[in-house]
């Protein structure tokens, strides 16, 4: 991608004098959409977020075009020193809208976001939140766009498992002896997380909505090391020391009654799977958000999407890491993600300086002191706690 002069236009093309060959600029775009509906809309449109109800936002979101949010600057590879430039684009659909409209309607809206990314000069597009799971998990979107596409789910898998390991260590839980549950085990992320965790833990509990599907994942995990069981009943997670949850549910699925004292929950889902009641009622369990990544370089997103400075979702970080690596190709698309692919993007991201950030829970930092308090309270409550009448 070469031309003349010293101007960099909207296309993102780098220009140089005649006869002087230069490298194309590394660029990406990432699509997000409202999750906490009123709060997220207010980040871009404060007045609309204040005066409209969630129902009104859900309705009107069907008619909004893609929204340009910001330019992202300051991402620098720790390995090569190359700088990355990108853009955040909002698909105006909310989760209830995304899941209720015909899939073709959702495809058209996401593809329109992709066309905006192409016009901006992006060389790879990341699909965030529900834009990554709608329909065939990115395949149709990739087919309809010129630029390559990734859902970011491979790095999400790698860092979710890494976060669970780290949280287990902080809580004094030994992985090889632990009972680990995966909720949403039949999804693209959950299935690969399950096979990875089956190699590391003592017992593995798989929970999914459909009996035949969760049995299929159970068969995949058997023989990898852990004793494996499966269920469609959320009560099955009660014995678990560690829980990784990654459903595509619109509403929460894990309530206070589902967790034993001292349990650790890594919630990878957006919208979250863990009810706010857990934070309000259970000071003896540790809930962390999965996949918060520290980005290399003095990154500035020029938009507040709810994370601390220099932090991003793992799916967003995968898009950035691929661009820094020069892997401008469809990467994570479809509903089958191999462990090898998850490990490969982990290696790529490590090389460029991406790393797991500190824990957060319900938009708040989790301090070492708060983890110590959870451990102490759990030790006290284990003395009299029993799973009686767990509905």
DSSP assignments along 184-236, one per residue: TTTSHHHHHHHHHHHTT-SEEEEE-S-HHHHHHHHHHHTTSSSEEEEES-GGG
Using CA atoms, how far apart are residues 199 and 197, in angstroms rounded to an integer?
Answer: 5
CATH entry, 155-292+359-381, from 3.40.50.850, 3.40.50.720, 3.40.47.10, 3.40.50.20: 3.40.50.720
| Pairing status of strand 125-127 against strand 26-32 | parallel
Bridge partner residues of 27 (DSSP): 85
- 10 Å CB burial of residue 74 (0-12, 13-18, 19+) is middle
Using CA atoms, how far apart are residues 153 and 155, in angstroms rounded to an integer?
Answer: 6
CB atoms within 10 A of CB 387: 12
User: What tokens does 248 get?
Assistant: 């595509």
Using CA atoms, how far apart are residues 317 and 323, in angstroms rounded to an integer?
Answer: 10
Opening angle at CA 61, ends 57 and 62, nearest 5:
135
Using CA atoms, how far apart are residues 130 and 35, in angstroms rounded to an integer?
Answer: 9
Instruction: Find the farthest-apart pair of alpha carbons in the chain and give their distance in angstroms, rounded.
Output: 78
Residue 46: per-residue pLDDT: 84
Residue 308: per-residue pLDDT: 87
Residue 291: per-residue pLDDT: 67
Range(s) for CATH 3.40.50.720 in the chain?
A: 155-292+359-381
For the chain, 391 residues long, give each residue's pLDDT as a single digit of tens. 222 222 233 334 433 344 444 457 999 999 998 877 778 778 877 887 788 888 888 787 778 899 999 999 999 999 999 999 999 999 988 888 888 899 999 999 999 999 999 999 999 999 998 899 889 999 999 999 999 999 999 999 999 999 999 999 999 999 999 999 999 999 999 999 999 999 999 999 999 999 999 999 999 999 999 999 999 999 999 999 999 999 988 889 999 999 999 999 999 988 889 999 999 999 999 999 886 899 999 999 999 888 889 999 999 999 999 999 999 999 999 999 999 999 999 999 999 999 999 899 988 889 999 999 999 999 999 888 776 545 4
pTM for this model (two decimals): 0.88
* Spatial contact of 93 and 60, defined as CB atoms under 8 Å apart: no
Q: In Å, how far are 163, 227, 238, 259 from 177, measured between CA atoms?
A: 17, 11, 16, 18
Residue 17: per-residue pLDDT: 41
């Amino acid at each position: 991608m070469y031309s003349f002069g010293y101007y960099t236009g909207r296309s993102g093309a780098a220009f140089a004098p005649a006869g002087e060959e230069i490298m194309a600029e590394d660029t990406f775009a990432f699509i997000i959409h409202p999750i906490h509906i009123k709060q997220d809309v207010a980040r871009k449109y404060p007045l609309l977020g204040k005066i409209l109800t969630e129902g009104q936002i859900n309705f009107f979101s069907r008619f909004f075009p893609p929204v340009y949010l910001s330019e992202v600057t300051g991402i620098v590879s720790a390995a090569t020193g190359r700088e990355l430039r990108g853009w955040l684009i909002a698909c105006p659909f909310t989760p209830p809208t995304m899941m209720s409209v015909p899939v073709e309607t959702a495809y058209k809206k996401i593809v329109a976001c992709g066309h905006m990314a192409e016009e901006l000069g992006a060389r790879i597009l990341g699909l965030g939140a529900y834009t990554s799971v709608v329909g065939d998990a990115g395949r149709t979107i990739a087919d309809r766009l010129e630029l390559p596409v990734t859902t970011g789910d491979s790095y999400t898998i790698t860092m979710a498992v890494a976060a669970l390991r780290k949280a287990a260590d902080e809580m004094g839980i030994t992985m090889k002896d632990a009972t680990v549950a995966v909720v949403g085990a039949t999804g693209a992320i959950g299935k690969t997380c399950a096979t990875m965790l089956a190699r590391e833990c003592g017992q593995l509990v798989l929970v999914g909505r459909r009996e035949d599907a969760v049995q299929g994942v159970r068969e995949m995990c058997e023989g990898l090391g852990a004793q494996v069981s499966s269920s469609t009943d959320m009560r099955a997670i009660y014995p678990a020391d560690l829980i990784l949850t990654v459903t595509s549910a619109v509403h929460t699925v894990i309530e206070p009654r589902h967790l034993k004292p001292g349990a650790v929950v890594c919630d990878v889902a957006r919208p979250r799977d863990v009810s706010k009641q857990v934070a309000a009622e259970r000071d003896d369990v540790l809930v962390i958000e999965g996949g918060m990544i520290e980005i290399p370089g003095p990154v500035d997103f020029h938009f507040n999407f709810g994370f601390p400075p220099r932090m991003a979702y793992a799916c967003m970080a995968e898009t950035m890491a691929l661009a820094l690596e020069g892997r401008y190709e469809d990467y994570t698309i479809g509903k089958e993600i191999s462990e090898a692919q998850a490990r490969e993007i982990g290696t790529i991201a490590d090389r460029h300086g991406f790393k797991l950030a500190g824990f957060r829970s319900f938009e708040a930092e989790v301090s070492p002191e708060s983890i110590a308090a959870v451990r102490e309270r759990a030790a006290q409550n284990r003395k009299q706690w029993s799973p009686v009448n767990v509905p």
